[in-house]
Structure 1
Amino acid sequence: MVKPARWKALPLAAYSAPSLITSVAALPMALFVPAFYADQLGLPLAAVGMALAASRLLDVVTDPAIGVLSDRLRLPLGRRKPWMLLGTPLFMISLWKIFVPGETASALYLAGWSALLYLGFTMIDLPHKAWGAELSTDYDERSRITSWREALSTTGQVALLACLVWLVEMGVNDVAVQLHAVAVAIVLALPVLLGLCLFTTPEHPPERLDHGPRSTREGWIIVARNPAFLRMVGCVFLFVSGVVIQGTLHRLVLADVMGDEARFPLMILLENVATLAMVPVWLAISIRIGKHRALAVAALWLAAWSLPLAFLREGDTTIMIINIVIRGSSFASILFLANSIAADVIDVDTLESGEQRSGLFFAVWGMVIKLALGVGVLLGTALPAEFGYDPSAVSVSGDVQSALMSIYGIVPAVLMGLGALFLRGFPVTKQVHAQIRAKLEARAMPRSIPLNTSA
């Protein structure tokens, strides 16, 4: 084993610490930045949307490049840590430029700095996740590691939402002031938390098996022939697409169906609190019935509680919030269980390819999630428009409301249910994984001394 069977809480918290801050940037980028640039800076909304969409095109090149390079390069600090160090200043500078722009900021300005922000985020997040997959070889311990990371990520978002609710209660409604406060908090906190992670968490040499190197083409063929990985790609794509459809429509449903848009921040805050509180429960379920079964149950739970949303109408805001909170209680578990299973799937690849290619796998994984994010936003906007929904209209007819709520409740539930089918008969169970680990350890070449063993 690379690491003793069970990590203590403090080292896990130290490893997960950067997620507390990097996750905070995602919410303002989705919920506040588009409206801020359109409303307060006077840019056309379509141009803002195009700028943000264009900024993600660079990911197609940077994600696999960073994944492969972080697998192959052997630098003094290790394979993963140098990328996180390099990405941090880029992430902070870009975020500051986006959240605290000058009055003459253009769509090109937004596109350029957003592209650099996402590049910096990839340089931090991708190696961080690949590193986490390598911290333990134990089936259940990997779930503990990913659950800590997702729990701190959710904690960061809860703290952000709570602060925004507090600012509004204090009469600070200016989005520019709110974004400036978020930027200051991130720039001050991220270096401290990243340093805590890098200097207290060990990075171990990669596993290598006793056979000659494979060509890049052979390596990609092995990835394409990994049935467990292909199943995970399919289910995660459907899961994320379904969740994003609802995320895209939350505010619009509250505004144009419930007639109570002001309760949007409270609803999202309560949902995040619920998903954070339920992380230990879903971890215990995964240990009892297996990760892939727990992931399927979590997805079906979300699907089941999405269906009633289709039947809610004006005046049902409280019922909607309760439903969203119950539904969202499984959300973090979907993320941490999927990432934990991904680490097991990488072991299958290591056994066949002879190399530990966590960076490559999480790069492909990240690209699939980003594609799902785009598809979810597309479905969440195009489908309602197809049925005549216009957010700028003075009023919305009953038929259009019915169509909107069906898209909001039923379509995500169907996608989640289809995604769960990919997990039926999943090939990498706890028992199978134990056999894979035994074969890996029997064939493994001797490792050099870990690059950092402090924990």
Structure 2
Amino acid sequence: MATLYTSQGLAVEIGQGPQEGQLNGWRLAGFASLVAPIYAAQLPLAVHLPAIYAQQFHLSLSVIGAIFLAERLWGAFADPLVGALSDSTRTRFGRRRPWIVAGAVIFGAATAALYFPSAQLVTPLYLGVALFAVYLGSSMISIPHLAWSGEISGAYHERTRIQTFHTVAGSIALLAVLVLPTIIDQVNPADASLKLAAIGTVVIGSLVVALPLTLRSFPEPDLPVAPRQRLAFGDTVTVLLRDPLLRRVLLSDFAVTIGQSTRGGLIVFFVTFYMGLPQWASGLFLFQFIFGVVAGPIWAQIGYRIGKHRAAVAGELVQVATNLGLFFVVPGQIGLVLALTMAQGLAQGSGNLMLRSMVADVADAHRLRTGQDRTALFFSAFSLSAKAGMAVAVGVALPLVAWLGFDPKAATNSPEALRGLLWVFALGPAIAHLVSAALVHGFPLTQARHADIRRALAERDAVPAE
């Protein structure tokens, strides 16, 4: 094993095993904590906000779906721009920190508007502007943060460990935003404003705590100076689409997110109307993410043993089986649903964790081939695939169930409408996760190949210093 050190003292392991040369765990936990407010805000956007804004503020599902779709598609332009600008930023505070701080200000203000709305002000325009700002701020935080996470270590398994900390931090944040709505559902399920305020408090509070912890956790590494290319938007898209490894990762993540967001966007309706158990609507999510907290370390260990892409395939196939199992549930009976929810929780982080770790490896291969460091740009595309997946899921699933006859404002829905809700809720995610597994199966960037890439980069980067 070879160990290289940057001028900032960051270890870069070649051929590293999961227990060798690890970054300090406490610092890594502080670094990963910035994931918490982003996760805490994003899941309610897909799960609680459509239902609450439809029922409490009387916006139609079609309008909400169109707004979410438009805002996510806007990210197709904003995210690569943030990634490219972060890669080319040079300040005495680093490349990533200035973007994270600016994004935190925008994100915090927009979150307050979205989760603490005045009923007199809520219109489709209000929702659209608030979502626009939330997505912009989250992009300015998450893309540089993800790129930074790929730079603090170049080791194959250590990157999986870093993303595991991210997964656990995100799962804990999700637990926090799910516990409060679950308690509110048991006391006063009709108080949607209180539910929104509880979620918003967790998001803003975790942002205030996590921001300084992340900024002080690790120094930004000194990367080799290379000629910087300023690409037009069309050229940027071409760079992203022409990389075959990145293309596979992005399409796989796109499919993963479609599956997760379809399930997330419909689960409140499924539990409330199909199962006839409205008191369990938030509780099932809470139950799922309790197991999600331990899922990250479990899948990290699997990835250490069989490789990232094989672990991703295994996790996706588990989710296929879990979603198909929903066809066997009986309305009014919670037992099988609880078992399937537990399985979903244990598998939910597998694809996300492995694919995020793989993106940094793909960026290394790209830098070796082209001489250009485009880590943030690559992660911006990864963020884009996730946002596009959410947009397609919400923008298609909600209008589809409405077309099939389901109406969340109706006192009762027909059996045909409820069957349509079941089919979209169960079969849609199952197909999406199967597609994701097929796309990442046989991924060629293995641990051995990545070790060769890191060795070649280390040798080339050492030449100017000599």
The residue correspondences of 1:184-195 to structure 2 (distance < 5 A) are 184-195=201-212
Counterpart of 2:120, as a letter, is T
1:216-255 counterparts in 2 under 5 A?
216=231, 221-255=238-272
8 Å contact 2:79–2:381 — kept in the other structure? yes
Q: Quote the offset at 1:400 in angstroms.
A: 4.6
Q: What is the aligned-residue identity percentage? A: 28
| Pairs within 5 Å for 1:95-174 | 95-105=111-121, 106-171=123-188, 174=191
Distance 2:262 2:198 in 1: 29
Q: Superposition pairs for residues 409-428 of structure 1, below 5 Å? A: 409-428=426-445
Match of 1:72 in 2: 88
Indicate the residue corresponding to 2:323 in structure 1. 306
| Cα distance in 2 between the residues matched to 1:286 and 1:67 | 27
Aligned to 2:300: 283
Write the distance in 2 (CA, Å) between the matches of 1:95 and 1:387.
33
Distance 1:293 1:185, change over 3 A: closer
Q: Residues of 2 paired with 1:400 and 1:7: CA distance?
A: 52
Q: Deviations over 1:333-362 (max 9, x none)?
A: 221111001111111111112122111111
1:341-393 deviations in Å (ceiling 9; x for gaps)? 11111111111121221111111111122111122224423444454444445
Q: Which runs of 5+ in 2 are unaligned?
A: 12-20
**CA apart distance, 1:238:** 1.5
- Residue in structure 1 matched with residue 338 of structure 2 by the alignment: 321
Alignment-derived partner of residue 369 in structure 1: 386
1:66, CA displacement in angstroms?
0.8
Aligned length: 446
Q: 1:8 to 1:386 in 2, by over 3 A?
A: same
Deviation at 1:207, TM superposition (A): 4.0
Of 347-356 and 158-167, deviating more is: 158-167
Q: Once superposed, what is the RMSD of the aligned Cα atoms?
A: 2.5
Q: What are the superposed Cα offsets for residues 167-192 of structure 1, whole Å, 9 maximum, x if unpaired?
A: 44455852223323433443344223
Give the stretch that moved more between structures: 399-408 or 437-446. 399-408
Return 5+ residue gaps in structure 1 as ranges: 449-455
Compute the displacement of 1:108 (Å): 1.8
Change over 3 Å in CA distance of 1:377–1:206 after alignment to 2? same
Match in the other structure for 1:93: 109
Choose which of 18, 21, 24 in structure 1 pairs with 2:37.
21
Give 1:407 deviation, angstroms: 3.0
Q: 1:158-214 CA deviation, whole Å, 9 max, x = no partner? A: 0121122234445585222332343344334422321011012221123456xx655
Q: Which amino acid aligns with 1:424?
A: H
Residue range with higher mean Cα deviation, 106-115 or 380-389? 380-389
Query: Which amino acid is 1:277 matched to?
Result: V
Return closer, same or farther for 1:422/1:364 CA change in 2, 3 Å cut-off. same
1:46 shift after superposition:
4.5
TM-score normalised to structure 1 length = 0.90
Give the SS at the match of 1:329.
helix
Distance 1:215 1:444 in 2: 22
**What TM-score comes out, normalization by structure 2 length?**
0.88
Distance of 1:403 and 1:174 partners within structure 2: 28
1:143/1:283 contact within 8 Å kept? yes
Which one of 51, 61, 76 corresponds to residue 60 of structure 1?
A: 76
CA separation of 1:408 and 1:51: change in aligned 2, threshold 3 A: closer
- Residue equivalent to 1:451: none
